[in-house]
Amino acid sequence: MSESGTTRAGLPGDGNRVVASGRQLTWRELRTADLPSPVAVLAATGLDALAAARQHAVQGTELVLSTPSRVDAELRDELADAGFTVVRLDDGDVTVIEKGRQRAAEPERLWLLTSGSTGRPKRVGHTLDSLTTVRSTQEPRTWLCPYSPGTYAWWQVVTLSLTQPGQDLVVIEPSQLDNWAQIASEHGVTAASGTPTFWRQAIYRDSEALAKVPLRQITLGGEPVDQAILDQLRQIFPAARVSWIYASSELGASIVVHDGRAGFPQEWLDRSATDRPTISVDGDELVIRSPYHGAGLTGAVRTGDRVEIVDGRVHIVGRLNSDEINVGGSKISAGLVRHVLTAHPQVAWARVTSRKAPIVGRMVVAEVVLAPAADRAEVDEAALIKWSGDRLPDYGVPRRIRFLDEIPVKETLKSDV
């Protein structure tokens, strides 16, 4: 029994199947740990993370959930100072790493750690209810959960399975990311959510294995979504619904697009409704007023994300502080240049940045991973410069292109494009 005393007898999803850490069981069968409250749980495995999530759902434990690798000593101190007892949960065993400053728990409070604009993680307050954005009854599905425990995207998949019968879950550990498609096939995964980098990497590594996963719902989010990756997924999974979602820890899920196209219709801007987010653009910044926002946030929130409106579609192209590149007084969006590169049929992944240069101040440069079947003699720097030159103003053409052998991906499944 937690200090909050808000124990629930069971959860709607308790009978759902959970596959994690090499085991297959139901939510109800997850081992319950003896956790203090407030607690910061560093889950060693995906199964431990699910156990902590269910414990929160049943007992209302005030919880921060993360992994040992995402919480350094400085952050552990910050959490302890904020009243969280920091524990490691490993195969159900609880080890206290740092005792939290004494304070009363806030029942049913969930905290998400975000990267924060300053680079130091900050806490955003939610509840299971505010993290649950899918409320309508869903057809039975088996969901893949490749995300790092405790992130917003992870909670999105987990709350769905916890709150709706028929939503099974297959958790992918970081060590399984290389062959998640085989695991997903074995367990009959029909729905998967991942970043564009995650999907690009899956196609790059083994598109045949990917095609064997019986996917009916594909979701992309967490990074700017371009047309090329949507088209590639549509080609591999012609019968699946391919959606992209704009969501953040602060604002929740704010934009969901199902029409298979990058960007969202410009008509969606400034449409006001009490039960859905209001999306606006101020200058070139995306501004959102959301009913699903984190605790303490009110009114319109400046997202820090930059938009470009092209042919009636609003594209979220990157972060405001890094997307716009000024080349000798002419401005170009790194995101749009990236979209041009990834639209090349032989390009599997691209990152576009700028580099200090004489006369013009900065120049556009890029890193590229070619598709496995690409003819490397044919698709060289000159070919990609020509491809870009045919589609971009001269100042937007990347003048130096470095070729990488692997798509870089972080624990967040992003590659900071």
Partner 1 sequence: MAQVMKNQGKVLPDDDSADLRAIGFRSLDFSELALRVEDETGEELNFDAPGLRQIATVGDVLDFLLQLQSE
User: What span, in angstroms and rounded, lies between the C-alpha atoms of 360 and 345?
Assistant: 31
Contact between 340 and partner 1 by CB under 8 A: the answer reads: no
Using CB under 8 A, pick the residue from 31, 400, 410, 411 that binds partner 1: 400
Using an 8 Å Cβ cutoff, are 249 and 114 in contact? yes
Residue type, 66: S
Closer Cβ to partner 1, 258 or 400, answer by number: 400
Contact between 12 and partner 1 by CB under 8 A: the answer reads: no
Could you tell me which stretch among 99-107, 127-135, 268-276, 395-403 binds partner 1 (CB under 8 A)?
395-403
Could you tell me which stretch among 148-156, 240-248, 281-289, 385-393 binds partner 1 (CB under 8 A)?
385-393
Smallest separation (angstroms) from partner 1 to the CB of 386: 7
Contact between 332 and partner 1 by CB under 8 A: the answer reads: no
User: What span, in angstroms and rounded, lies between the C-alpha atoms of 286 and 263?
Assistant: 12
Residue type, 285: E
Q: Which of 99, 124, 103 is nearest to 113 (CA)?
A: 124
Smallest separation (angstroms) from partner 1 to the CB of 380: 10
Beta bridge partners of 347: 370
- Neighbour tally for 159: CB within 10 Å: 23
Per-position x/- string for 279-318, each x denoting binding to partner 1 as judged by CB under 8 A, each - no binding = ----------------------------------------
With the C-alpha atoms ordered 262, 263, 266, 272, is the resulting torsion angle positive or negative?
positive
User: What span, in angstroms and rounded, lies between the C-alpha atoms of 348 and 368?
Assistant: 8
Using CB under 8 A, pick the residue from 358, 373, 376, 378 that binds partner 1: 358
Using CB under 8 A, pick the residue from 140, 328, 345, 372 that binds partner 1: 328
Strand (E) or helix (H) holding 316:
strand 313-319
Contact between 273 and partner 1 by CB under 8 A: the answer reads: no
Report DSSP state, residue 285: E
Contact between 211 and partner 1 by CB under 8 A: the answer reads: no
Contacting residues toward partner 1, per CB under 8 A = 327-328, 355-360, 363, 365, 381-382, 385-386, 389, 394-395, 399-400
